[in-house]
Amino acid sequence: MKTALIIGPGAIGTLLAWHLQNSFSLVVPQHRSDQFLPIRLLDQEQEYPLNWHLSKPDDINPDIDLVLVTTKSSMVRTATSPFLHRFQGATWLICCNGMGPQQWLSEQQPGRVLWASTTEGALQTSSQEVLHTGRGETLIGCAQAELANSDCLQMAHWLTEQSGPLTLRWADDINTQLWRKLAINAAINPLTAHAGICNGDLLAPHWQAELSAICAEVSAVAAAQGVQLPVNLLAQVREVAERTAHNRSSMLQDMDKGRPTEIEAINGFLLDRGHEQGIATPRLRNWYDAIKKREP
């Protein structure tokens, strides 16, 4: 059996563990002596036991096939750094919100990193339990497939071929897929987090001018980067806000829990790209500053 190390056993990490547990032996690095892993996953009122275990970082067997990174984007560097030089033959798969950590990890592990973008919904309801809140799919791809080593491509192939409860699909255009998610997050997350509202509240008339201005800035930055976003990004944002109307965005949840948000990997990334291309991004800057001011 192959072995996978999961760095970031939160809601999405747990969901992917549920999918992978039939084909991988799963290990999670232990950070604290009082740390626990969720023991069950709830999907459509059925309970599924989770088969994974914690291991002290120094005790982890170096024969790891896959390192799955599912931390918050703000934690990627800190959480992965102790392991970057440990698993020589491993493929890395990073699945987190925003952009920036993916590029950073790919520079650390050239040719070995797969990127993933998921529309699955999951919520950790207690220290023991994770709830699968919404069915989606997980796209896996290589931002620069021509630079990927053969083990990495084989692993991608293998992951997308394995049967399991989730849908994992190969995406030739994973970079575009991540940009699309980034664009939606840049419109929805800071506004909902700052105003303390659910996603659907953004459909109110008084938010439309702001959403439109943000979409225009994001589209201009993406176009300058050669990334094709939906022509009517605002309509797409509204569609997601409607579909997830009762959701509290991940940034709102982070803010409520006093955790660092993912603003750096969302607005921060777009501000940097805009700056490089000489594109004005005042609304993205405004929301970046507003969230930064309130972060712990």
Question: In the complex, which residues of this chain contact ligand KPL (CB under 6 A)?
Answer: 97, 184-185, 188-189, 199, 240, 244, 247, 249-250
CB of 244 to ligand KPL, least distance (A): 4
CB of 202 to ligand KPL, least distance (A): 10
- Of 5 and 265, which CB lies nearer to ligand KPL in the complex structure? 265
- Of 221 and 265, which CB lies nearer to ligand KPL in the complex structure? 265
CB of 192 to ligand KPL, least distance (A): 7
Q: Are 138 and 117 in contact (CB under 8 A)?
A: yes
What single letter denotes the amino acid at residue 252?
Answer: L
Buried b (16+ CB within 10 A) or exposed e, 215-232: bebbbbbbeebebebeee
CB of 144 to ligand KPL, least distance (A): 25
The residue length of the chain stands at: 296
Q: Write the CA distances from 264 to 146, 189, 280, integer angstroms.
A: 29, 12, 18
Q: Are 140 and 170 in contact (CB under 8 A)?
A: yes
For every residue of 4-26, DSSP letters joined together read EEEE--SHHHHHHHHHHTTTEEE
- Of 184 and 255, which CB lies nearer to ligand KPL in the complex structure? 184
Q: Any idea what DSSP says for residue 136? A: -
- Active site annotation includes 181: yes
- Of 86 and 248, which CB lies nearer to ligand KPL in the complex structure? 248
Among candidate residues 56, 181, 257, 293, the one labeled active-site is 181
Instruction: List active site positions.
Output: 181
